[in-house]
Amino acid sequence: MLVKGLSKRSVLIGVLLSILILRRCYDRYWDPNLIITFFDVGQGDSALIQFPFGKTMLIDGGGGWGKLSVGERVLIPELLRLGVLRLDHVVLSHPDSDHAFGLLEILQKMEVGQVWLSSYFQKPPRPRILQDIEHISKSRKIKINHLINPYQLQINGVSTLLTPLGIDAHSKNDRALLLGIEFSKCRALFTGDIEQGGELEMVTRSSKKVHLLKVPHHGSLTSSTRQFLKAFSPRWAVVSVGFKNSYRHPRKEILHRYRLMGINLLRTDFHGAVRLTLSPEGKVSCETYLGDCGVSRCD
């Protein structure tokens, strides 16, 4: 007997969608590639890393529109569409609402393995959203890690380094948890909203060239210094911004700087979601909501 109110057609659609999601979920456990997706979350940041053979990590969860959460409206449907039913790791770059608000729904509604935070977030004033994240995680028995020193994970052949910055930071944006990943010959760097101070700290710690850069602080005038871009010398960069946002991010001076340095810049307000697929042989395939954006190699 059918559930009251549901037609045969809607039950059939539900079954077909479930089969599709489970099929995608199954396929991920056989996929040797590393896939990085920058979601189109308006003004904010959220990216998914799908490691080879099925492990997953979400970095930031975007913000919201008033009381509407990006987590509920964008991320959970997109994750299901990709066949991601579990997030093994959730990383918060810093507790600003355009990065953290959407995580509340994710932590409440999805299966999550561990949450990674920086100990420097605890510096006063301690934001309310951080307390909410910790409260939900504890109530759902999700392990929380507070990092005070860099921490390296090896996830299915991918070297993953979490670096808490900002012991002397004056800007709260520079009290950040950054993520660097290395797979085959490819490196990617996720920078949260760091500004000049954080960029300088990064350059003094390491200046290994990266293939892909998450543009710091949505392309603001206070970030993407020449010294930082020269040190890391990315080939691709992705800036996550809202269409016609009130901050005027990314700033035209910064766009000009990326162009002058020959860095391919993709922006979520124009291209929509951006996905880079990295093969074990070092091939990088780029696609956006608008279509293919090229192929390159990590050398």
- Positions that interact with Zn ion (CB under 5 A): 98, 193
**Is the CB of residue 187 less than 8 Å from the CB of residue 206?**
no
Query: In the complex, what is the shortest distance from the CB of residue 91 to Zn ion, in angstroms, rounded to a whole number?
Result: 14
Nearer to Zn ion, 98 or 269 (CB): 98
Query: In the complex, what is the shortest distance from the CB of residue 44 to Zn ion, in angstroms, rounded to a whole number?
Result: 6
Q: How many CB atoms lie within 10 A of CB 177?
A: 27
Query: In the complex, what is the shortest distance from the CB of residue 217 to Zn ion, in angstroms, rounded to a whole number?
Result: 6
Nearer to Zn ion, 38 or 51 (CB): 38
Query: In the complex, what is the shortest distance from the CB of residue 223 to Zn ion, in angstroms, rounded to a whole number?
Result: 10
CA–CA separation, 224 and 220 (whole Å): 8
Query: In the complex, what is the shortest distance from the CB of residue 240 to Zn ion, in angstroms, rounded to a whole number?
Result: 8
Pairing of strands 186-190, 212-214: parallel
Q: Which amino acid is at 233?
A: S
Nearer to Zn ion, 241 or 273 (CB): 241
DSSP, residue by residue, the chain: -PPTT--HHHHHHHHHHHHHHHHHHHHHTT--SEEEEE---SSS--EEEE-GGG-EEEE----EETTEEHIIIIIHHHHHHTT--EEEEEE-S---HHHHHHHHHHHHHSEEEEEEEEGGGGSSSPPHHHHHHHHHHHHTT-EEEEESS-EEEEETTEEEEEEE--TT-SSGGGS-EEEEEEETTEEEEE-TT--HHHHHHHHHH-----SEEE-GGGG-TTS--HHHHHHH--SEEEE---TT-TT-PSPHHHHHHHHHTT-EEEEHHHH-SEEEEE-TTSEEEEEETTEEEEEEE--
Cα distance between the two ends of the chain: 60
Q: Tell me the Cα Rg of the chain.
A: 19
**Is the CB of residue 159 less than 8 Å from the CB of residue 171?**
no
Query: In the complex, what is the shortest distance from the CB of residue 220 to Zn ion, in angstroms, rounded to a whole number?
Result: 9
Nearer to Zn ion, 40 or 98 (CB): 98
Query: In the complex, what is the shortest distance from the CB of residue 147 to Zn ion, in angstroms, rounded to a whole number?
Result: 20
Nearer to Zn ion, 101 or 258 (CB): 101
Nearer to Zn ion, 88 or 193 (CB): 193
Query: In the complex, what is the shortest distance from the CB of residue 96 to Zn ion, in angstroms, rounded to a whole number?
Result: 5
Nearer to Zn ion, 88 or 98 (CB): 98
Nearer to Zn ion, 98 or 195 (CB): 98
